Amino acid sequence: MTYRFQFQVIWDNWDLLLAGVGLTLQLSALAIVLGLMVGIVGALCRTSDNRYFGMLAAAYVETIRNTPFLVQLLFIFFGISSLGPRLGSSQAALLALTINFGAYSTEIIRSGIQSIEQSQIEAGMSLGLNRWQIFRLVILKPAIANIYPALTSQMVLLLLLTSVVSQISAKELTFMGNFLRSRTFRDFEVYFALALIYVVLALSFKLVAQLCHRRLFTFTRYI
């Protein structure tokens, strides 16, 4: 084996990769927040007595879950731009990630809402809670606690999915890694560093999620 490892190129260009990490984390955080909002609304539609809302939410979920994320990304970046409004690469990436995460979180949150027993809701009503208080305290918080592990796993997948947006030149971590590889031709070193950084990011996210779980749901009774 004559290959000579030169990891010095990684240290010499660490600022480049760090900039990519910054956009990766920014896209992930915004997509999670916005996607959870979409997921809550979608879950309410899926559990609604209004069948039209339910059908609309089901169509959205099934469309997203049965098409590749890359196709969704390219459709938003190129397809929507061909109709008039032009989105930047970061804007298109955020929109695609939000729509994708929203569909998956819709089903996860729906399962959590359906795990809440009717007796719990009736107990909240008997205590004089209004509809918003019942939804927030009796339904949503216990539901999130019940499905927290699944939701956390989906968030980690979203973090890793940001690597795909490099295909539309969004300057996240993978894009910066590819740019560095094209300049240095050190394929092994660059992609090894990328893999290691993604592992660190994913494990760090899981750790933060565990700390949030202990703080937010320690006294929540699992149904």
Give the pLDDT score at 124: 77
At position 155, the amino acid (one-letter code) is M
Per-residue pLDDT, 119: 78
Structure tokens at 187: 């394929």
The pLDDT of 76-97, averaged and rounded, is 90
Rounded CA separation 121/147 (Å): 18
**141: which residues sit within 8 A by CB, 6+ positions away?**
217, 220
Average pLDDT of the residues in 13-32: 96
User: Which pLDDT belongs to residue 82?
Assistant: 83
pLDDT of residue 156: 96
The 3-state DSSP class for residue 108 equals helix
pLDDT band at 1 (very low <50, low <70, confident <90, very high): low
Q: What is the pLDDT of residues 170-219, one digit of tens each?
A: 999 999 999 999 999 999 999 999 999 999 999 999 999 888 878 877 65
% of the chain surpassing 90 pLDDT: 66
For residue 143, the model assigns a pLDDT of: 85
If residue 22 lies in a helix (H) or strand (E), which one and from where to where?
A: helix 14-46
Cα distances from 79 to residues 59, 70, 87, 130, in angstroms, run 20, 13, 10, 44
Residue with tokens 């600022």: 15
Three-state secondary-structure class, residue 38: helix
Domain boundaries, the chain: 8-221
Rounded mean pLDDT, 85-110: 94
> Residues 6 or more apart from 63 whose CB is under 8 A from it?
103
Mean per-residue pLDDT of the chain: 90
Tell me 221's DSSP state.
P
Pick the CATH number of 8-221 from 1.20.1530.20, 1.10.10.1150, 1.10.3720.10, 3.20.20.120: 1.10.3720.10
Structure tokens, 161: 């999915």
pLDDT confidence of residue 48: 87
Lowest mean pLDDT among 15-24, 46-55, 69-78: 46-55
Distance CA 96, CA 76 (A): 7
